[in-house]
Amino acid sequence: MPSDERNLIQIGMLGVGKSTVGVLLAKATRRSFIDTDVYIQAGQGRSLQEIIDAQGLVAFCRIEEQCILSLKLRGHVIATGGSAVYSNAAMGFLRSTGPVVHLDLALDLLEKRLENLRGRGVVMAPGRRLKDLYVERQPLYRAWADITLDGAGKTQDQVVAEILRQLRLDS
């Protein structure tokens, strides 16, 4: 796939800034932007939390996987929901369309950003905490990522510039 047709995939925990950085990255690279969480909500006609409440976590992950596998996009910046990494099929498909960037933040910074997880449509079993998700998901994000970028202490524009530099798209 020619480099201008490759997608740029962003993964990471909720609250790391995938959507905001994705919009800026799309603008910088003259690509369209899609947030898979928004895509799921539009396709299902309800919020992520409503889907989880009505159908459960396993069914939500199945819906998320099907929605990602239905994306027939070229030349887009794609920001996934944090739980996309639970699907090998979805992540393998996304990786086949372009490089995967893991936007990372330390747990303590995420905890400061995310005071209330309830109602956000987070794939998290009752009784679990953000720390539990972080410990569970970090190895998955790192395994799927072509690059991992720590956003601590960086502005969104600096994160975009670093992504462009690491992917050699800044020329």
Q: Which structural domains are found in the chain, ordered by start?
A: 3-166 (3.40.50.300)
The predicted-structure confidence for 25-53, as pLDDT tens digits, reads as follows 999 999 999 999 999 999 999 999 999 99
- With tokens 């960086």, the residue in question is 154
> Average per-residue pLDDT in the chain?
91
pTM: 0.92
Amino acid at 124: M
Query: What pLDDT is recorded for position 98?
Result: 96
In the predicted structure, residue 68 carries a pLDDT above the cut 90:
yes
Is beta strand 100-104 parallel, antiparallel or unpaired with respect to 147-150?
A: parallel
- What percent of the chain stands above pLDDT 70? 93
Query: How many C-beta neighbours within 10 Å does residue 83 have?
Result: 24
The predicted-structure confidence for 111-170, as pLDDT tens digits, reads as follows 888 766 665 667 778 888 889 999 999 999 999 999 999 999 999 999 999 999 999 876
Query: What pLDDT is recorded for position 111?
Result: 85
